[in-house]
Amino acid sequence: MFSAELRDLTATTWRAAVEHRFVGEIGRGEVDPAVLRTYLVQDHQFVDAFVALMGAAVATAPNASARLVHARQLGLVAGPENDFFDRALDALDVPFADRTDPELLEPTRGFLDLMDAARGGGDHAVCLAVLLVAEWLYLDWAERAGAPEESVQREWIELHRGPAFTDWVTFLRLEFDRTAAGLDDAGRARVQEAFTRAVELELAFFDAAYDA
Amino acid sequence: MFSAELRDLTATTWRAAVEHRFVGEIGRGEVDPAVLRTYLVQDHQFVDAFVALMGAAVATAPNASARLVHARQLGLVAGPENDFFDRALDALDVPFADRTDPELLEPTRGFLDLMDAARGGGDHAVCLAVLLVAEWLYLDWAERAGAPEESVQREWIELHRGPAFTDWVTFLRLEFDRTAAGLDDAGRARVQEAFTRAVELELAFFDAAYDA
């Protein structure tokens, strides 16, 4: 399976991300408030690009049943789950300017570019690669994290694990592997590049919250 | 407002559609079962293309708040409203082959082409034009229809009227007018062509259910 191959290929970076200091700390509810603020302010900046990318996945899905799964997940992210950031940024007293137009850190800019390129390219396999890394790597770290008392940190973990989220990641893996099986070498190379870049950005994103 | 201009421009065809014999009959719950079967079998064939087009609207929306409205409506269409056709086609004893691969009537083929072209073109204004006609014209006829006892016909009407659906159509009109205001002549011509074609197809679609 191409997804397993790519995860092996990126194993060192992947592990450094899912075993990041941030994961241990959030699992105990002990992320330094300044770090958590930076992390969530930056993450908030690509929610819109992520929603747009999910829209592109709906538009480019190869069949009606896969399209419906993408569309339902999109409805969830845009609906019930959409107020997390408002509540979290309120709880952390984040000023208005940092909600609308913060200075973007390097990995944030990198993610925006990667997601916009995937969306704009109209290549379903590349869209899937970026979505897959974002969701699968988050499931992997969230499953390793504890269950803290503090509500912002707990909610951020719980948004990325549990049966429904696991099903969504399984769907993405199956779709990714099915799509990749139909690609030629150039197509697989494009997908591999997007996958690898996304894993590197996930690690850099955690690091950047501490370096800022 | 460009939406009002285009509706005036297409007024004769628009009125023939929303005052179609089908509208009177469905409002009394009296559409001939063979006609209703043809109509729903054909309509069912572009649900997937419609969902894909809504995905493209999410991907191409000009800002986060518009994108969320599109995404939530998509989640609704792909989620809670998605089993209408299964239930309706069951109730009408439609054979399996007519659910998966029926012979497409001319207006159905025309709609599929129009929606696929709008989606593939990545032009948000054209995506909006096709969505707007589909939803606005349906709201217009559904508001003229009665409230029949028979459940398939009643549900089809109720899916296209009421406060939530009216809000969605209002959003589409506002977004369409805002987007059109920023277009040059060539852009407006493209949008007008898509709008006009969609209105013609809506009328032809009602007619075709009786001619088949």
CA distance B160 to B135: 8
Binary contact (B55, A76; C-beta < 8 A):
no
Torsion of CA B184, B188, B190, B195, to 10 degrees: 160
Contacts of B86 in chain A (CB under 8 A): none
CA distance A140 to A125: 22
CATH superfamily, domain at B2-211? Heme oxygenase-like (1.20.910.10)
**Helix (H/G/I), strand (E/B), else coil: B92:** coil
B128: nearest Cα among B65, B67, B186, B77: B67
Contact between A148 and A29 under an 8 Å Cβ cutoff? The reply is: yes
Q: Which residues contact B125 (CB under 8 A, 6 or more apart)?
A: B176, B179, B180, B183, B187, B190, B191
State pLDDT tens for residues A64-85.
999 999 999 999 999 878 899 9
CA distance A139 to A156: 11
Contact between B117 and B182 under an 8 Å Cβ cutoff? The reply is: no
Sign of the torsion angle spanned by Cα atoms A132, A137, A143, A148 = negative
Average pLDDT, stretch B25-40?
97
Predicted model pTM = 0.95
Domain ranges of chain B: 2-211
CA distance A44 to B2: 35
- Given a cut of 90, whether residue B142 has pLDDT beyond it is yes
User: How many contacts does A have with B, using Cβ atoms within 8 A?
Assistant: 104
Q: What secondary structure letter does DSSP report for B150?
A: S
The predicted structure's pLDDT at residue B82: 84
B209: nearest Cα among B8, B25, B4: B25
Contacts of B78 in chain A (CB under 8 A): 67-68, 71-72, 74-75
Q: What angle do CA A163, A7, A145 make, to 5 degrees?
A: 45
State pLDDT tens for residues A24-71.
999 999 999 999 999 999 999 999 999 999 999 999 999 999 999 999
State pLDDT tens for residues B49-91.
999 999 999 999 999 999 999 999 999 999 878 899 999 999 9
CA distance B81 to B135: 15
Report the chain A residue with the minimal C-alpha distance to residue B44.
A64
Contacts of A122 in chain B (CB under 8 A): 120, 122
State pLDDT tens for residues B110-133.
999 999 999 999 899 999 999 999
